[in-house]
Amino acid sequence: MAADEPPDRQLRVMPWWLVLVGLLLAAALGWLVLGLLLTEADRAVQQDIRATLRIDAIRTGLTVVAGTGGGLALLLAARRQWIAERAQRHQETVATRDQAHRDRVQAHAESVAEAAQRQQDRQSTAAEHDAAERRLTELYTRAVELLGNDSAAVRLGGLHALERLGQDNPSQRSTIVAVLCAYLRMSPPDDEPRETEVRRTAQRVLTRHLREHDETAHWPGVVLDLSGAALVDFDAAGCTLVDATFTGAAFTGTTSFAGATTTGRLLLRAASFGGLALDGLTAGGEVILDDARVQGLASFDGADFADGLYCRRSLFAGQTSFRGATFGQPTSFDATRFDNDTTFRESVFDGALSMEHSEFGESASFYSARFANMALFRWTVFEGEASFDRARFTDAANFGRAWFHRMASFRDAQFSRQPQVEQARAVVDPGHRWPAGTVVRRLDDEWLVLVDE
């Protein structure tokens, strides 16, 4: 029975006198009927009819008494049946309530047991986590202590211990990379000849886990901060870099980012390089080389600078090549010095290009380069030959006040509009190939001046 049903009414026991009253009422009813019938029989005239009627009256009275008694017996039997059915229903209700109570007790016991098991599991998990964290902390602390040892061999062991720790614990990789970067940012000791090998190993540990070709060793999402670091033959070729910062870093030897991919900014501001290779670089963010210094060969062949390249006030002392490079966003080489031969052969500038106040110490080649946006070469100094042969300018081109110290060639170059050359200077040279419509005047025995009409 449901909990909201009313309880059964209390069963009341029938008193004994109620049965006696019933019998007396039956007898009284029979006596009354018998008396009435005998009175009517006595009114008969004939004696024989009177006797018959009296017998019938007695029989009828007895029948009434018997019928009334039978009715009472039937009522008692019906009451017994009702009581039996009610008792059966009560037993079933009690049994249902008992079963429901037992079920509730069982469910509560199971719930308590389950809660206790969950609590035990949580405590066990917490204990295991605490133990693992303590062990991890101990290993990390020990590895860092090894890295700070005076012996180069011990420091090498610390590097490998940190690498193993990061390989087995992905959650610690960012911290371990930060420790290795901090180590490389510190000034190397002058009295330790083997420190170079230690730093090379630290660099290899970093770059080894930034390459995606080995999924088991790849550490995705780590950020490099090597600002002001002293790096030797740094090789990040084929690496995937996320917001890598090398501001003010000193790169000795050959530095390579060939075939690398950046998903954020690559900051090389004010860095110095022995040699630099960014061939095939795929830059998903800005590449900033402002105030950089490259003493040796610099190669950017086939690089894709989708978000632009900023290379202002920089110095390229060796040969420099941007052959087949693509520049998606505005690109600036303002006030940059190229001491040696420089080529932008077949490069594509989808964004605006600014080379104002730049200087080319030797030859500068823009052969078959394509300029889809504005190209500014104002105040640019070409100390060697300047070649724009077969270049294509689909927007404005401005060479105002540029200086051409040797031959300038625009053979087969295509311009969507007449380039601006106001007050550009060119040394007297019969090999010049100026854009069609360019007005050239003799300034003196040595210089020519270009003017816009």
- Predicted confidence at residue 302, as pLDDT, reads 97
Contact present, 219 and 209 (Cβ < 8 Å): yes
Average pLDDT, the chain: 87
Please tell me which residue, 174 or 78, carries the higher pLDDT value. Answer: 174
CB 178 within 8 A of CB 225: yes
- For residue 160, count other CB atoms closer than 10 A to its CB: 13
Q: Which residues contact 330 (CB under 8 A, 6 or more apart)?
A: 308, 351, 352, 353, 354, 373
User: How far from 344 is each of 75, 299, 357, 401, CA to CA, in Å?
Assistant: 121, 11, 17, 21
Report phi then psi at 98, rounded to 5.
-60, -40
Cβ-in-10-Å burial (0-12, 13-18, 19+) of 78 comes to: exposed
Name the maximum alpha-carbon separation found in the chain.
Answer: 188
Residue 386: count other Cβ atoms within 10 Å of its Cβ.
26
β partners of residue 310: 288, 332
Q: Which residue has the tokens 């003196």?
A: 444
Distance CA 318, CA 339 (A): 7
> Which pLDDT value is given to residue 185?
93
Of 95-109, 240-254, 313-327, the one with minimum mean pLDDT is: 95-109
Half-sphere exposure of 329 (CA within 13 A, CB side): 12
**pLDDT greater at residue 193 or residue 428:** 428
For 396, other C-beta atoms within 10 Å of its C-beta total: 17
Q: How confident is the model at residue 369 (pLDDT cuts 50, 70, 90)?
A: very high
Cβ contact 267:249 at 8 Å: no
- Give helix 173-185 / helix 195-208 axis angle, nearest 10°: 150
Section 108-116 average pLDDT: 87
pLDDT at 133: 66
- Residues 198-219: tens digit of each pLDDT: 999 999 999 999 987 777 788 9
Q: What is the pLDDT of residues 430-443, one digit of tens each?
A: 899 999 889 999 98
Residue with more model confidence, 427 or 67: 427
pLDDT tens per residue across span 352-361: 999 999 999 9
Percent of the chain with pLDDT over 70: 88
The predicted structure's pLDDT at residue 142: 86
Average pLDDT over residues 273-280: 97
Q: What is the predicted pLDDT for the residue at 14?
A: 65
Tens digit of each residue's pLDDT (9 = 90 or more) over 2-61: 444 445 556 566 676 766 776 677 677 767 766 776 676 666 656 667 677 667 767 776
Q: Assess whether pLDDT exceeds 80 at residue 445.
A: yes
Q: Going by C-beta distance under 8 Å and a sequence separation of 6 or more, which residues neighbour residue 318?
A: 275, 294, 295, 296, 297, 298, 339, 340
The answer to whether residue 118 scores a pLDDT higher than 80 is yes
Residue 396 C-beta-side C-alpha neighbours within 13 Å: 11
State phi, psi for 23 to the nearest 5 degrees: -65, -40
Residues 6 or more apart whose Cβ sits within 8 Å of residue 275: 253, 254, 255, 294, 295, 296, 297, 298, 318
pLDDT at 2 (0 to 100)? 45
Find the angle CA(376)-CA(381)-CA(382) to the nearest 5 degrees: 105
Residues 6+ apart with CB under 8 A from 277: 237, 254, 255, 256, 257, 258, 297, 298, 299
| Number of alpha carbons in the 13 Å side-chain half-sphere of residue 44 | 15
Q: What is the pLDDT of residue 215?
A: 74
Q: CA 374, CA 398: separation in Å to the nearest integer?
A: 8
Write down the number of H helices and E strands in the chain: 5, 37
**Close Cβ partners of 407 (under 8 Å, ≥ 6 residues apart):** 385, 386, 429, 431, 432
pLDDT digits (tens, 9 = 90+) for 293-346: 999 999 999 999 999 899 999 999 999 999 999 999 899 999 999 999 999 999
Q: State residue 297 phi and psi, 5-degree precision.
A: -65, 135
3-state secondary structure of 86: helix
Rounded average pLDDT over 218-235: 93
Please classify residue 150 by burial: count the beta carbons closer than 10 Å to its beta carbon, then call 0-12 exposed, 13-18 middle and 19+ buried: exposed
In the sheet with 337-338, reading across from the earlier edge strand, the strands are 230-232, 250-252, 272-273, 293-294, 315-316, 337-338, 359-360, 381-382, 403-404, 424-427, 447-451, 439-442
